[in-house]
Structure formats: structure tokens, C-alpha cells
């Protein structure tokens, strides 16, 4: 696989972070809207902590939490969407737009990999794959079989300009309770019944009465405790500061990429190693004429609305206040809340199981061994639809495991996942079992000092269960993305490539193209690079990119594969690649490259049939004529 900006540890940690909801009063929203941001967007660039946090586990041992990131989002209530296990049209469109927007930079960094007689010029990174992966994970809906994407806390935000701020806090608190407990809404999902409520008084420095805000805050500390509330002062920048002062805008990179356009339609529906044998087949001269006649919109990423600035009323001191607020909320509110719930869950589980020691201290006794049952997944009864009641002991173990994982206590998390896995398998609750297997494998990998090897067979079983028993391809893909990264980090490129290839399917051309491309990178990064497998899978990736409408990515894949086939005597393969490069280049309005590629098909002694040679010649002449007429018009 290509190099990634993040390490695999950072990637997995950032994929599962504590979720925090936001409920704002109308006046509070007006205060943040001065910066063209809502409250959750205002906090987003400052949600990664720069200092260490500390908490104690059930054995009273100090656990250090490093580089923690939290996710803050507005509460959005919507009807429950059936989890079919496949992406819907909107998600597919989003993922396609994300990949389209991320193209190789001109003159970007490339690796030159010597392999036998080859010096291959290959992309050092594949940011389009990382962008797809990030959007894929963020678009996953919260599930009932796990709690990692459920909200742990809720920020209740009220403006200091309210007539009676405490009344507004009460209204927001009641609203949160109603959303969570009255059964009217199935979304959002909440981690525990006793959700942490954190009261935030938002003060607008540009027009509010600061003395009154301080007075209200003192009253709040009496009501909610100093650990449960915060006075956040923003909008310190005045008009007198002028427009010359340059304040950084850290928000743009976090806001949704909403102005993407999808254009060039799918043209190539043929097998990647099959050349057309007739003039009127799809992609032949008639198709090229149709492409030339169309009015095409190139895929361009324009970011947010032109001219929109963010944080215009904020100073650098306000940025520091936002950063400090997140730190105070996390260290004084969120982490103690998580610590308390881990202790409570541990005590409940100990009492229910009649144990004399905590789960943590019993780790060796319980988990000295134990493997997945010998019975194959295919033999297990399909009870993937089984649902446990919220108070079920099995779910409490899973809940405790997820809490421990979110605060980086991977050893205790592994112990809990392992126990939950055995309970779920004994009940043949296969969706729950697959989730526990997946997270047990990840927890084992993330443990400091690597006390136990990465259990790749856990991931393989989880993927097979998600895909074949639960019919949930989305969860299977998530599992495969994690496992492939872990295998790659351990230089097990052959295993990673096998896994990625196995996950390709006919349902999603885009996903298959990206996975095939990553598999190709695995083959070329092996100790003894497998050049031909690299080129072959690049061609397969290019074909699937083309079917997905990603013409630029398709052209890039074919060009990289061409380095292997060029001048090696594989004339039919070389003809196919040049033909496809020519056709893709013409589609992308690169006529010079198209003419050059078609010319290569005609210059050497051809082993094609006369019919195919005639088709090549006609396409070449047509492209040449179009190119020449365009050149004439520009003179």
C-alpha cells in the first residue's frame, strides 16, 4: 500500500473518538453565526488535546491518555434509517465526490522503485484513498451492536444575553432528556442512560455585559458545580482592529466539501484486458464522436462559497480560549465521567458474575488462551438479527470495552472484548460477535509493548461473519481497511494484498478500484517486488475507476502500468493499454496525449486482426482531425 500521512496507530485512534453532542439556544447560535459557523463547527479545529490526560482504572492504576481527539456535533434527530449493510445513493455520491476532488498534484512527490530491469515512477502517496477512507468511516451510521459512535456527553450552550440564562439551560436539559428517553427518536444514539450534561455560558465580548456574565457564571457554579459548567468568551475582535490584521482560518479544512460536481459519464464497460473487435462497440469511434459533442463539466473542487470567511470576529486570544475550553471540558468533565462509568460497569459485572476480583485483575485467568470455536462460520445459525435488551450483561461488557478503548486503555478493552466475544458466540449472536472480534484484534494491536501478537484470524473471522452471515458489506469493509493497515505496518504486504483483493465486488466500482490500487502498491512494496502483479492490478484498478466515472484516476493507473509493459514484447497488452490511454485522454480533453497513445498502436508491427487494426486507424484519424482543427482555431 502507498505511504499514508498518519501512522496506523493514529489512523485507528482517530477512527474511534469520544462523541459529544451540542444543543444551543437561539441566541447562542446568533453569537457564533457572526463567524459564519455554528457552535460545533467553531470548536472543530481545537478538538485535539495537546496535553496529556489522566484517569484511574478499576484497579486504581493511573492511565495516561495522549493525543486524544473528541468529536463535537450538533444534535440531529431523524427517523431511523434501516441498516441494509450497503451504502445508499447519497453516501455513494459523497464518496465519489471526495475521490474526484482529490487528484495527484502536478509535479508531486513520486517514488522511483528499482525492480529488476525496471525503474518504476510510482506515486509515493495516494491521498484520494485516504480521503475516501476518512469519509467512509465518518459516514457510517451508529449501530446498536456497538457503542463507539454513540454520544457520551451533551454541551448545553446558552448566551449570556438571555434574560434568564438558567431557564434556558433548564429547557435545553429537558430537551436533551426528551430526545434520549421518550422513545420518539431513534437517532442520535446515546452511550449510557445518564448522559453527561455540561453547561456552557457563551459571552459575546463585542456587545455583552461582561460583569453580568461573570455574575451569572458564579450562580451556575453554585447550581451545577465548578466541574460541570464553563464561561466561554468569544468575539473579542472589534471593527477598529481593521482588515489588515491577518488571523488564520483553521476552519475551512474541517467544513464539509459541498461544492463538488460530478461530470464525465462512464464510457468503458469492457473487460480491462479485452479489446473491441468491431467499430460500433461501446468506446469506439462513435463513442468518441459522442464524447466530443457533449458539453462536459470538469470535476473541480471549489471549497466553500467564494468570499466566505470564518472566524472574522475572533482574535488569537479567542482561539486560545476555545482550545482551553475543550481541554477543561475534557479533563474536568468528560474523562472523570468516563472513569466513573467504567468503575460502575466493572462493579456491576463483578457482582453479577460473582467474581472476587475485577475484570482487569482476572485477565490472565480468563484470557490465557481461547480461540474462535472450531465450528465454521457457515455452520453457525444465522441469528444476526438477535437484539439484547439494554441492561443485558453481555452489552454491559461491550459497553465497558468501548469506554476503555476510547480512553486508550487497550489492555482492559481487549479483556472485555474477549469476554464479550465468547458470550456472543455462545448465544450465536453473530453481529455482536463479529464486532467484538474486530475490536479485540484492534485492541491487541494497539497495546503498548505488543504483549500479544496481532490476531489476524480474529479480523478474518469478523470480515467473513459481517459479509456472509450478517450481509453487512459496510462493516466488512471497515474491518478490512483496519486489518490491511495493520498488516502493512508489519510488512505483511502479501497478506494485505490478498485481503484487499478479496474485498472487491461488483456492487461498488469505486471501492473496488481503490482496493485494487492499494493491493498493487502492496505487491510493489514487497521485499522482492512483484512487478507484473503490480501492473496487472493497476490495470484492473484503472478499469474499475473508469466504470465508476473516475476518468483521471483511471488514466493515471493505466499510465503507471504502462511502465511495466512498454517495450517488453507483450504487444497485445501494450496495444490495449495505449488504446485505453488514448481514449481516456481524449475524454479528458487531452488531445495531444490521445494522439500520441494512438500513434504507438500504429507504428510497430501489429499482431492485431485486420478488423481491429482498421478500428485503431479510424479512431486515430478522428482524434488527429479533432486535435488539428482545435489547433487551427487557436492560431
pLDDT in tens, 356-378: 344 444 443 444 444 444 445 54
Please say whether the beta carbons of 571 and 603 come within 8 A: no
- Given this model, what pLDDT does residue 306 score? 45
Residue range 470-475: mean pLDDT, rounded: 93
pLDDT of the residue at 575: 76
Q: Describe the chain by its helix, strand, coil percentages, rounded to 5.
A: 55, 10, 40
Q: In sequence order, which residues have a C-beta less than 8 Å from that of residue 517 and are 6 or more positions away?
A: 126, 129, 537, 538, 541, 557
Alpha carbon 218 to its chain centroid, in Å, reads 42
369 within domain boundaries: no
C-alpha cell at 241: 482592529
Distances in whole angstroms, Cα of residue 90 to Cα of each of 94, 139, 271, 410, 505: 6, 10, 28, 35, 19
2 confidence band (pLDDT: 50, 70, 90): low
Rounded distance between C-alpha atoms, residue 598 and residue 575, angstroms? 9
Q: Which residue has the cell 468569544?
A: 234
- Asked whether residue 85 is assigned to any structural domain, the reply reads no
Each residue's pLDDT tens digit, 244-257:
567 788 898 887 54
pLDDT at 534: 93
Q: Answer whether 174's CB lies under 8 Å from 221's CB.
A: no
Q: pLDDT for 316-358, tens place per residue?
A: 999 999 999 999 999 999 999 999 999 999 998 888 765 434 4
Whether 259 is in a domain gets the answer: no
Evaluate if residue 291 carries a pLDDT over 80.
no
* Domain housing 544: 387-632
φ and ψ at residue 86, rounded to 5 degrees? -130, 155
Q: Are residues 13 and 149 in the same domain?
A: yes
Same domain, 470 and 328: no
| Residue 133 resides in a domain | yes
Residue 635: helix, strand or coil by DSSP?
coil
Pairing of strands 71-74, 151-159: unpaired
Residue 263 lies in a domain: no
pLDDT tens per residue, range 558-606 = 989 888 888 776 777 777 787 788 778 777 888 777 777 777 777 666 6
Q: How confident is the model at residue 515 (pLDDT cuts 50, 70, 90)?
A: very high
| Distances 587 to 6, 171, 219, 542, 554 between C-alpha atoms, Å | 35, 58, 67, 15, 11
* 8 A C-beta contact, residue 500 and residue 519: yes
* Separation of alpha carbons 530 and 310, rounded Å: 49
**Cβ atoms of residues 575 and 275 within 8 Å:** yes
Residues 437 and 329 occupy one common structural domain: no
- Asked if 232 and 110 sit in the same domain, the reply is yes
Residues 324 and 426 in one domain: no
Query: How far is 91 from 139, CA to CA, in rounded Å?
Result: 7
- Global pTM reads 0.84
Q: Looking at per-residue confidence, does 270 or 469 come out higher?
A: 469
> Based on the domain organization, do 324 and 440 belong to the same domain?
no
Provide the number of structural domains found in the chain: 2
How far is 34 from 516, CA to CA, in rounded Å?
46
Whether 417 maps to a domain, the answer reads: yes
Complete DSSP assignment for 292-354: HHS---------SSTT--S-TT--HHHHHHHHHHHHHHIIIIIHHHHHHHHHHHHHHHHHHHT
**Nearest of 137, 146, 139, 156 to residue 191 by alpha carbon:** 146
How many CA atoms lie within 13 Å of 212's alpha carbon, on the beta-carbon side? 14
How far is the C-alpha of 139 from the C-alpha of 95, rounded, in Å? 9
Distance, CA of 384 to chain centre: 25
d(CA 57, CA 67): 19
pLDDT of residue 252: 84
The verdict on 542 and 446 lying in the same domain is yes
pLDDT band of 84, cuts 50, 70, 90: low
Asked if residue 140 lies in contact with residue 149, where contact means CB atoms within 8 angstroms, the answer is yes
Question: Is the C-alpha dihedral spanning 249, 254, 258, 263 positive or negative?
Answer: positive
Mind listing the pLDDT tens digit for each residue in 189-239?
Answer: 999 999 999 999 999 999 878 999 999 999 999 999 999 999 999 999 876
State which of 118-127, 232-241, 538-547 shows the largest mean pLDDT: 538-547
The pLDDT confidence band at residue 463, using thresholds 50, 70 and 90, is: very high
pLDDT of residue 245: 64
Whether residues 330 and 429 fall in one domain: no
| Sign of the CA dihedral with 462 first, then 466, 467, and 468 last | positive
Cell numbers for 74, please give them. 450538533
For residue 566, report the phi and psi dihedrals to the nearest 5 degrees. -65, 125
Q: Which of 21-25, 69-73, 124-128, 145-149 has the lowest mean pLDDT?
A: 124-128
pLDDT at 564: 86
Same domain (yes/no): 521, 611: yes
- Average pLDDT value for residue range 264-281: 39
All three cell numbers of 385, joined, read 438479527
Average per-residue pLDDT for the chain: 82
Flag whether pLDDT at 460 surpasses 80. Answer: yes
> 527-531, 597-601, 605-609: which has the highest mean pLDDT?
527-531
Residue 248 grid cell: 488564520
Spatial separation of the C-alpha atoms in residues 419 and 46, rounded to whole Å:
36
Q: Residue 478 sits in a domain of what CATH number?
A: 1.25.40.10
Residue 329 and residue 432 in one domain? no
Question: Among candidates 5, 12, 35, which has minimal Cα distance to 485?
Answer: 12
Least confident segment among 10-24, 289-303, 613-627: 289-303
DSSP line for 526-594: SSS--HHHHHHHHHHHHHHHHHTT-HHHHHHHHHHHHHHHTTTT-HHHHHHHHHHHHHHHHHTT-HHHH
Question: pLDDT at residue 549 above 80?
Answer: yes
The CB density around residue 461, as the number of other CB atoms within 10 Å, is 24
**Whether 420 and 566 share a structural domain:** yes
pLDDT at 6 over 60: yes
pLDDT of 243 reads 53
Q: Would you state the pLDDT for residue 54?
A: 93
Is 544 domain-assigned? yes
Residue 380 lies in a domain: no
The number of residues in the chain equals: 635
Q: How many CB atoms lie within 10 A of CB 488?
A: 23
Q: Are residues 402 and 548 in the same domain?
A: yes
Amino acid at each position: 500500500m502507498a505511504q499514508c500521512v498518519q501512522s496506523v496507530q493514529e489512523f485507528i485512534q482517530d477512527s474511534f473518538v469520544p462523541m459529544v453532542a451540542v444543543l444551543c439556544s437561539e441566541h447562542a447560535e446568533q453569537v457564533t453565526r457572526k463567524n459564519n459557523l455554528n457552535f460545533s463547527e467553531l470548536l472543530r479545529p481545537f478538538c485535539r488535546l495537546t496535553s496529556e490526560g489522566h484517569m484511574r482504572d478499576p484497579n486504581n492504576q493511573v492511565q495516561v491518555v495522549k493525543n486524544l481527539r473528541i468529536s463535537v456535533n450538533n444534535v440531529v434527530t431523524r427517523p431511523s434509517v434501516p441498516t441494509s449493510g450497503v451504502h445508499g445513493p447519497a453516501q455513494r455520491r459523497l464518496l465519489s465526490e471526495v475521490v474526484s476532488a482529490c487528484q495527484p498534484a502536478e509535479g508531486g512527490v513520486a517514488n522511483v522503485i528499482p525492480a529488476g530491469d525496471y525503474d518504476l515512477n510510482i506515486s509515493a502517496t495516494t491521498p484520494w484513498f485516504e480521503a475516501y477512507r476518512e469519509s467512509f468511516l465518518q459516514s457510517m451510521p451508529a449501530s446498536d451492536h456497538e457503542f463507539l459512535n454513540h454520544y457520551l456527553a451533551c454541551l448545553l450552550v446558552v448566551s449570556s444575553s438571555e434574560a434568564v440564562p438558567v431557564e434556558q439551560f433548564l429547557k435545553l436539559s429537558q430537551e436533551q432528556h426528551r430526545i434520549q428517553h421518550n422513545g420518539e427518536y431513534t437517532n442520535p444514539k446515546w452511550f449510557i442512560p445518564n448522559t453527561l450534561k455540561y453547561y456552557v455560558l457563551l459571552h459575546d465580548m463585542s456587545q455583552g455585559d461582561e460583569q453580568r456574565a461573570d455574575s451569572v457564571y458564579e450562580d451556575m457554579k453554585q447550581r451545577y458545580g465548578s466541574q460541570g459548567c464553563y464561561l466561554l468568551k468569544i468575539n473579542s475582535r472589534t471593527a477598529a482592529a481593521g482588515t489588515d490584521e491577518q488571523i488564520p482560518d483553521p476552519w475551512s479544512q474541517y467544513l464539509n466539501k459541498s461544492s463538488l460536481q460530478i461530470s464525465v459519464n462512464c464510457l468503458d464497460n469492457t473487460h480491462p484486458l479485452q479489446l473491441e473487435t468491431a467499430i460500433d462497440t461501446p468506446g469506439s469511434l462513435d463513442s468518441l464522436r459522442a464524447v466530443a459533442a457533449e458539453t462536459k463539466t470538469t470535476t473541480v473542487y471549489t471549497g466553500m462559497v467564494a468570499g466566505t470567511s470564518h472566524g472574522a470576529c475572533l482574535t488569537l486570544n479567542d482561539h486560545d480560549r476555545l482550545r482551553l475550553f475543550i481541554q477543561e471540558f475534557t479533563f474536568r468533565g468528560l474523562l472523570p465521567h468516563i472513569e466513573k462509568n467504567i468503575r460502575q460497569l466493572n462493579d456491576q459485572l463483578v457482582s453479577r458474575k460473582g467474581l472476587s476480583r475485577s475484570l482487569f485483575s482476572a485477565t490472565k485467568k480468563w484470557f490465557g488462551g481461547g480461540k474462535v470455536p472450531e465450528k465454521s462460520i457457515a455452520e453457525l445459525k444465522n441469528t444476526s438479527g438477535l437484539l439484547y435488551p439494554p441492561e443485558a450483561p453481555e452489552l454491559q461488557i461491550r459497553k465497558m470495552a468501548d469506554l476503555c478503548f476510547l480512553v486508550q486503555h487497550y489492555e482492559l478493552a481487549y479483556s472485555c472484548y474477549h469476554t464479550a466475544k465468547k458470550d456472543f458466540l455462545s448465544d450465536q449472536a453473530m453481529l455482536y460477535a463479529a464486532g467484538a472480534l474486530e475490536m479485540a484484534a484492534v485492541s491487541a494491536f494497539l497495546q503498548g509493548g505488543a504483549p500479544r501478537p496481532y490476531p489476524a484470524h480474529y479480523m478474518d473471522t469478523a470480515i467473513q461473519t459481517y459479509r456472509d452471515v450478517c450481509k453487512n458489506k459496510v462493516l466488512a469493509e471497515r474491518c478490512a481497511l483496519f486489518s490491511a493497515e495493520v498488516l502493512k505496518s508489519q510488512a505483511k504486504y502479501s497478506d494485505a494484498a490478498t485481503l484487499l483483493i478479496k474485498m472487491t465486488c461488483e456492487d461498488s466500482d469505486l471501492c473496488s478500484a481503490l482496493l485494487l490500487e492499494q493491493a498493487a502498491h502492496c505487491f510493489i512494496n514487497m521485499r522482492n517486488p512483484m512487478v507484473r502483479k503490480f501492473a496487472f492490478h493497476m490495470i484492473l484498478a484503472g478499469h474499475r475507476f473508469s466504470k465508476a466515472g473516475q476518468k483521471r484516476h483511471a488514466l493515471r493507473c493505466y499510465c503507471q502500468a504502462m511502465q511495466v509493459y512498454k517495450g517488453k514484447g507483450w504487444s497485445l497488452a501494450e496495444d490495449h493499454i495505449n488504446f485505453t490511454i488514448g481514449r481516456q485522454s481524449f475524454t479528458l480533453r487531452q488531445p495531444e496525449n490521445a494522439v500520441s497513445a494512438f500513434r504507438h498502436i500504429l507504428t510497430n508491427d501489429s499482431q492485431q486482426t485486420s478488423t481491429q487494426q482498421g478500428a485503431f486507424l479510424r479512431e486515430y484519424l478522428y482524434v488527429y482531425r479533432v486535435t488539428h482543427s482545435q489547433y487551427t482555431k487557436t492560431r
